[in-house]
Chains A and B, each alone.
Chain A
Amino acid sequence: MTTTIPTADQRYVPAPVGEITSLLASTCDTCSRTHFPTVAECPACGGVVHETRLSRGRLSALTEVTAPPPGALIEPPYHVGITDFAEGIRVIGLVDGDAVVGDEIEVAVFEYHPDRSTFAFRRRTS
Chain B
Amino acid sequence: MKNVAIVGVGIHPFGRFDYGYRQIGEVAMRDCLADAKLQPEDVDMVLVANVGAEMAKGHNIVNRVRYIGKPIINVEAACASGGSALSLGASLIESGAVKTVLCLGVEKAPRGFIAGAGFENWQIESGLGVNPLYFSFQAQDLMRTTDATLEDLADVAVKNHGHSVHNPHAMYRREFTRGEVLASRPVCDPLTLLMLCTPNEGAAAVALMDKDEAAKRGFDNSIRIGGIGLASRATDDWFVPAPSLQSEMTSISARAADTALEQAGMGVDDIDLVECQDTDTASELIAYSDLGLCNKGEEAELLRSGATTLGGSIPVNVSGGLLSKGEPLGASGLGQVHELVTQLRGTAGPRQVKDARVGMAHVMGAGHNACVVVVQR
A contact residues vs B (CB 8 Å cutoff): 8, 11, 33, 35-37, 43-45, 60-67, 69-74, 76, 78, 80, 82, 84, 88-94, 101, 112-113, 116, 118
Report how many residues on chain B are interfacial, defined by Cβ distance under 8 Å: 32
Give the top 3 A-B pairs by smallest Cβ distance, nearest first: A69-B130, A70-B115, A74-B127
Is there an interface contact between A112 and B127, defined as CB atoms closer than 8 Å? yes
CA distance A70 to B111 in the complex (A): 11
**Nearest Cβ in chain A — how far from B340, in angstroms?**
33
**Nearest opposing residue in chain B for A81, CB measure:** B137
A-B contact pairs, 18 of them (CB 8 A): A33-B235, A43-B235, A61-B144, A63-B137, A65-B127, A65-B188, A67-B112, A67-B113, A67-B187, A71-B125, A72-B124, A72-B125, A89-B245, A90-B247, A92-B137, A92-B245, A93-B243, A118-B126
CB-CB contacts of B103-129 with A at 8 A, as 1s and 0s?
000000000110100001110111111
CA distance A59 to B165 in the complex (A): 41
Question: In the complex, which residues of chain B have a beta carbon less than 8 angstroms from the beta carbon of A73?
Answer: 125-127
Known: A8-B122, A118-B122. A80 touches B141 (CB 8 A): no
CA distance A73 to B235 in the complex (A): 32
Question: In the complex, which residues of chain B have a beta carbon less than 8 angstroms from the beta carbon of A74?
Answer: 125-127
**Nearest opposing residue in chain A for B113, CB measure:** A69
**Nearest Cβ in chain B — how far from A59, in angstroms?**
11
Question: In the complex, which residues of chain A have a beta carbon less than 8 angstroms from the beta carbon of B120?
Answer: 8
Is there an interface contact between A76 and B235, defined as CB atoms closer than 8 Å? no
Interfacial residues of chain B within 161-203, with CB under 8 A of chain A in the complex: 186-189
Out of B113, B126, B246, which one reaches A94, CB within 8 Å? B126
Q: B305 at interface (Cβ–Cβ under 8 A)? A: no
Is there an interface contact between A44 and B127, defined as CB atoms closer than 8 Å? no
Q: B342 at interface (Cβ–Cβ under 8 A)? A: no
B contact residues vs A (CB 8 Å cutoff): 112-113, 115, 120-122, 124-130, 133-134, 136-137, 140-141, 144, 186-189, 235-236, 243-248
Is there an interface contact between B189 and A80, defined as CB atoms closer than 8 Å? no
**Nearest opposing residue in chain B for A88, CB measure:** B247
**Nearest Cβ in chain A — how far from B367, in angstroms?**
14
Question: In the complex, which residues of chain A have a beta carbon less than 8 angstroms from the beta carbon of B134?
Answer: 92
Is there an interface contact between B127 and A89, defined as CB atoms closer than 8 Å? no
Out of A66, A70, A72, which one reaches B126, CB within 8 Å? A72
Question: In the complex, which residues of chain B have a beta carbon less than 8 angstroms from the beta carbon of A94?
Answer: 126-128
Question: In the complex, which residues of chain A have a beta carbon less than 8 angstroms from the beta carbon of B236?
Answer: 44
CA distance A108 to B317 in the complex (A): 44
**Nearest Cβ in chain B — how far from A3, in angstroms?**
20
CA distance A43 to B242 in the complex (A): 13
Question: In the complex, which residues of chain B have a beta carbon less than 8 angstroms from the beta carbon of A60?
Answer: 141, 144
Known: A112-B126, A113-B125. A92 touches B115 (CB 8 A): no
Question: In the complex, which residues of chain B have a beta carbon less than 8 angstroms from the beta carbon of A76?
Answer: 127
**Nearest Cβ in chain B — how far from A112, in angstroms?**
6
Is there an interface contact between B133 and A63, defined as CB atoms closer than 8 Å? yes
Out of B112, B141, B243, which one reaches A61, CB within 8 Å? B141
Out of B121, B125, B247, which one reaches A89, CB within 8 Å? B247
**Nearest opposing residue in chain A for B243, CB measure:** A92
Is there an interface contact between A70 and B129, defined as CB atoms closer than 8 Å? yes
**In this complex, which of B121, B125, B248 has the most chain A Cβ atoms within 10 angstroms of its Cβ?**
B125
Is there an interface contact between A36 and B244, defined as CB atoms closer than 8 Å? yes
**Nearest opposing residue in chain B for A119, CB measure:** B126
